[in-house]
Amino acid sequence: MLKTLKGKISVVYLGLVLLVVIIGTISGINLYYLSKTIDGLMIDNYKSIKAVNLMNEEIDNQNNAILTYIYQDRQAGIKQFNQDSSAFYDWYNVEANNITEKNEGKYVEEIKNAYVDFTTSFSSLQEIPVSDNSSMLYYYKTKIKPNFDHIKDLLNGLAQLNETAMFEKKTNATMDAKNSMYAILIITFIAAIFGFIISMVFTNRFLKPMEYLISSIRKVKEGDLDQIISITTDDELGKLATEFNNMIKRLKQYEESQLGKIMDERNKTLSIVKSISDPLLVLNSDYKIILLNSAAEELFGIEEKNAVNKHFLLSVKDEKLFEEINSIVDSNFVNNKIEQIKYSNKYYDVTISPIENYKSEISDILLVFHNITEFKELDQVKDDFISIISHEFKTPLTSIMMGTSIILEEKIGTINEKQKSTLLAIEEEGEKLTELVNELIELTKIESGKEVYNFKCCSMFGIVENTIKPLYNIASDKGVNLSHSVDEDLPCVYADPEKISWVLNNLITNALKYTDAGDDISISASIDNNMMQISVKDTGVGIPKEYKDKIFDKFFHTKNGDDFEIKGTGLGLAVVKEIVEAHGGKVWCESDLDVGSNFMFTLPICH
């Protein structure tokens, strides 16, 4: 029974129940003795007092009967005396059988002797002649009356004895009651303390292992899996402790196996990262380097052991790159690529990728530096090639165009209509080729940085007015409504007016190419964020969404269905981009198919 917690608790409760039973029994016994004392008080002494009182009455009656015998009627006196005598004996017997007090027996014995003398003296009185009244009276006074008074004294003494005993018993009963009350109070108090101590001791003994268990569970919750609970009892708590220990063992095994898996995965990831030939860095949210591969060590001339857990800027001393990373992280990785960073004669594109934790929060940032030097070099070769070819094309092309023009003007002889139309076709294609060659030369010049910019503070209003003027006629010939709303009072821009005029011309010419009669082309300018923003907006064919970012690439043309017709060289916007960026501005396009396009670019304003 004591092996289980239930048994132990039951034993404690049984002990407490036993205590209550003991207190109850003691109280019962006390009450029993008390009631017995009261019984004695009520029955024995009361019986004696009653018997004595009645004996008193009877003896008084007998005395009266003697006086009746002397003075009045002898027969009636004798009869009365005898009757009272038997009644006296009845009560005497009651008292004789109810001796409860010390000396009570002595009194009873004396009363008996005195009464015998009393009755004997009455018999002696009857022997005195009837006529001798004075002798009878004398006999009564000297013999019977003293005896009668003696019996009365004895009876009063006996009554007094019983009354005293009764009072004594009452006092005793009161004392007993008080004592019982105190005894019960003391026992109850002791029992309460005892019960309290037992409950406390056992409750503590039962709860201690539980507290131990709770603190162990808490430690396990905090990750300490080395908790072993040493509760060795056979009860439920012991079993719980055993199960708990088993659970911890399993948990530990599981953690070890998971840890092993995680370590494997980590090592795998590390080897993959290390084997990547592109330089790679992983930063935490405080921009401290937490991982880097040997290509990154080599690129930035750092060692892993010195760089890890240090701020990015301490190892990669490139504040511009750091600012760019910061702005990409702040803008929630909207644009996660930084193009063309030059480190020790090599060009890199940097891809910045967020690494999310299990709560989908960005915990780390992955930076991969793609080495684009080879592409850059190839690009350079291509640019050089194009530059050479364009220049090489330019002179013979000029000769061809001049020759064609001379033949067409029939300066060296007449030509027939067929020859003329063929020559006109040659001239048209030659013009296209010339435009291409010119734009190629322009682009390669700008890209190579050979283009000289003549930056100055100039009015945008003036540039727009000058650029738009020659285009009004072409627009009106096409039925397109060309207008501008550039304010004359706008601040000046810091730009090369010729190059910006070229940019505007190109954008307006494009708009004219992709609009029809009835369409509108409007030019406007406003100040935004310390930059001037110029917009060339048309209501023409628009650009499909998928091409919106590609139109600024070299040789790019959109394809609008089957009636697709190449209307230009595909170089104009590439040149526009180069020129605007050389001014420190940006160019972009917003367009909806069949609604129109809005080409915008920014330029710094003069301070």
Burial classification of residue 15, based on how many CB atoms lie within 10 Å of its CB (0-12 exposed, 13-18 middle, 19 or more buried): middle
- Cβ proximity to ligand ADP, 89 vs 502, nearer residue: 502
Length of the chain: 607
Print the binding letters for residues 127-156 with ligand ADP: x by CB under 6 A, - otherwise.
------------------------------
Least spacing, CB of residue 505 vs ligand ADP, in Å: 11
Is residue 598 near ligand ADP by the rule CB under 6 A? Answer: no
How far is it, in rounded angstroms, from Cα 237 to Cα 463? 92
Residue 279: strand, helix, or coil? coil
Long-range interactions of 507-511: CB distance < 8 A, separation 24+: 507/536, 507/576, 507/599, 508/467, 508/468, 508/471, 508/482, 508/536, 509/471, 509/572, 510/568, 510/572, 510/573, 510/599, 511/536, 511/537, 511/538, 511/540, 511/597, 511/599
Judged by CB under 6 A, the stretch of 41-49, 162-170, 423-431, 540-548 that binds ligand ADP is 540-548
Is residue 508 near ligand ADP by the rule CB under 6 A? Answer: no
Q: Which residues pair with residue 230 across a beta bridge? A: none
- Cβ proximity to ligand ADP, 435 vs 498, nearer residue: 435
Residue-by-residue DSSP string for 530-597: TEEEEEEEE-SS---GGGTTTTTSTT-----STT----S-S-HHHHHHHHHHHTT--EEEEEETTTEE
Angle at CA 207, nearest 5°, toward 205 and 212?
105
Is residue 558 near ligand ADP by the rule CB under 6 A? Answer: yes
Least spacing, CB of residue 570 vs ligand ADP, in Å: 4
- Cβ proximity to ligand ADP, 404 vs 597, nearer residue: 597
Least spacing, CB of residue 323 vs ligand ADP, in Å: 31
- Cβ proximity to ligand ADP, 82 vs 438, nearer residue: 438
Helix (H) or strand (E) holding 370: strand 362-371
- Judged by CB under 6 A, which of 65, 543, 579, 580 binds ligand ADP? 543
Structure tokens at 589: 């396009």
Least spacing, CB of residue 499 vs ligand ADP, in Å: 16
- Cβ proximity to ligand ADP, 58 vs 578, nearer residue: 578
Is residue 511 near ligand ADP by the rule CB under 6 A? Answer: yes
Structure tokens at 240: 């719980």
Least spacing, CB of residue 326 vs ligand ADP, in Å: 33
Query: What are residue 362's phi and psi, to 5 degrees?
Result: -75, 115
Cα dihedral sign, 317-319-324-330: positive
Least spacing, CB of residue 581 vs ligand ADP, in Å: 15
Is residue 572 near ligand ADP by the rule CB under 6 A? Answer: yes
- Cβ proximity to ligand ADP, 62 vs 506, nearer residue: 506
Is residue 538 near ligand ADP by the rule CB under 6 A? Answer: yes
Is residue 510 near ligand ADP by the rule CB under 6 A? Answer: yes
Find the binding residues for ligand ADP in span 205-224 (CB under 6 A): none
Is residue 588 near ligand ADP by the rule CB under 6 A? Answer: no
CB 515 within 8 A of CB 539: yes
Structure tokens at 568: 């230009």
- Judged by CB under 6 A, which of 597, 600, 601, 603 binds ligand ADP? 597
CB 441 within 8 A of CB 397: no
Structure tokens at 144: 């019977």
Is residue 403 near ligand ADP by the rule CB under 6 A? Answer: no
How far is it, in rounded angstroms, from Cα 305 to Cα 355? 23
Burial classification of residue 460, based on how many CB atoms lie within 10 Å of its CB (0-12 exposed, 13-18 middle, 19 or more buried): buried
- Cβ proximity to ligand ADP, 5 vs 580, nearer residue: 580
Cα dihedral sign, 61-62-65-67: negative
Is residue 503 near ligand ADP by the rule CB under 6 A? Answer: no
Q: What DSSP designation does 142 have?
A: I
Q: Residues in contact with ligand ADP, total (CB under 6 A)?
A: 20
Is residue 578 near ligand ADP by the rule CB under 6 A? Answer: no
Least spacing, CB of residue 598 vs ligand ADP, in Å: 9
Least spacing, CB of residue 327 vs ligand ADP, in Å: 29
For tokens 């009045």, what's the residue? 72
Long-range interactions of 375-383: CB distance < 8 A, separation 24+: 376/340, 376/347, 383/444, 383/447, 383/448
Is residue 568 near ligand ADP by the rule CB under 6 A? Answer: yes
Indicate the residue whose CB is closest to ligand ADP. Answer: 568
Is residue 556 near ligand ADP by the rule CB under 6 A? Answer: yes
Query: What are residue 35's phi and psi, to 5 degrees?
Result: -65, -35
- Cβ proximity to ligand ADP, 8 vs 577, nearer residue: 577
Is residue 325 near ligand ADP by the rule CB under 6 A? Answer: no
CB 311 within 8 A of CB 287: yes
- Cβ proximity to ligand ADP, 161 vs 536, nearer residue: 536
CB 426 within 8 A of CB 408: no
- Cβ proximity to ligand ADP, 44 vs 538, nearer residue: 538
Least spacing, CB of residue 531 vs ligand ADP, in Å: 22
Is residue 295 near ligand ADP by the rule CB under 6 A? Answer: no
Judged by CB under 6 A, the stretch of 202-210, 266-274, 345-353, 553-561 that binds ligand ADP is 553-561
- Judged by CB under 6 A, which of 63, 68, 569, 602 binds ligand ADP? 569
Site residues (CB under 6 A) for ligand ADP? 510-511, 514, 538, 540-541, 543, 551, 556-558, 567-574, 597
